[in-house]
Amino acid sequence: MSQKVYITKNLVEDLKNECDGRSPKGVFILVDSNTRQLCLPLLMKDEFFKQVHVIEIKPNDDHKTLESIASVWQYLSENGATRKSIMINLGGGMVTDLGGFAASTFKRGMDYVNVPTTLLGAVDAAVGGKTGINFAGLKNEIGVINSSKSVLINADFFRSLDHNNFLSGYAEMIKHGLISEPKVWNNILSYDLEKINYEALPELLLESISVKEKVVAIDPTEKGLRKVLNFGHTVGHSFESFAMETGAPVLHGYAVAWGMISELYLSYKLLGFPKQTLALAVQMIKENYGVLKISCNDYEHLYDLMTHDKKNEGDGRILFSLLKDIGEVEINVSVSKKDILDSLDFYCEAVGLG
């Protein structure tokens, strides 16, 4: 199913149009406690949305669980949802991931629309049809690939983000720049992250989203090319899981940014990625994203976490998507344990832990 992605100037009217004449009783809005307070009031100014069902879940990724999704299914069941109903997911990546999965599986599937309220959600989770929940301590372990009917982006929501959450989303844009072409990469590098220009953001955002859309259109179910979007994520997800285990969870984009440091090193070592570009990217990440504190004592556990990565094919190898240069990606690169541990050494040295 094709997915429309567009910047909306009138969210209320565009969302009503996406409901395709449905009664308010057939419309279900999923929010977390934050977006209920900060974002839902914009819709509730309209008489139509005052009559729809609102489902609230707890915020943050540690609530992207079986218990949370079961509560959504329960609400849908008790309030007359059918396959002809529609769900509007109003929130960040956690809400669009969980809500998309709930809609895709309830009564074997109902339409859903994503309205990302975070930059990370807009450039990553809300686009491309990946849905899911965390399970057994592993991120997005259970889910389906099923595109939303549409993605409506209201860039004004991003003005309310704190700087850390803005940067978390921007990390995925850095990734899109690295896997696309020099022009996009240069635009990403030149955007001032200290003095954010919200007027210029929508154009940069659409450029970044288009990178993902083009890849997803060619390979919607991740049989091949779509794996390029996992650049930075094999190591990044291990960092994210590790941080969650220690009781000090980190934002997804930060974990991906740190993961890109290690995976750029692997790209340089194994595929000849340009050293100058490596240094430039690492410096940008170091300056903006700080550090996840790890030591050599953590390497074995981080390696074990990487063995659970969904790109692996069950034969014991850990597979990466790596870069020969900007926009030149090689997927399914099998990397030895020694090289992976070396990449963790490089990360530690790059961020000042070595």
Q: How distant is the alpha carbon of residue 241 from its chain centre?
A: 15
pLDDT confidence of 316, banded at 50, 70, 90?
confident
Amino acid at 223: K
- Find the largest Cα–Cα distance for the chain: 61
Residue 310's pLDDT is what?
A: 62
Span 124-152, pLDDT tens digits? 888 888 899 999 888 788 999 999 999 99
Distance CA 34, CA 40 (A): 9
Write down the pTM of the prediction.
0.85
Mean pLDDT of the chain: 93
Q: At what angle do helices 163-179 and 252-271 cross, to 10 degrees?
A: 30
With beta carbons less than 8 A apart as the criterion, state whether 321 and 312 touch: no
Tokens at 64, concatenated: 């992207």
Span 208-251, pLDDT tens digits? 999 988 888 888 877 788 889 999 999 999 999 999 999 999 99
Distance CA 242, CA 299 (A): 11
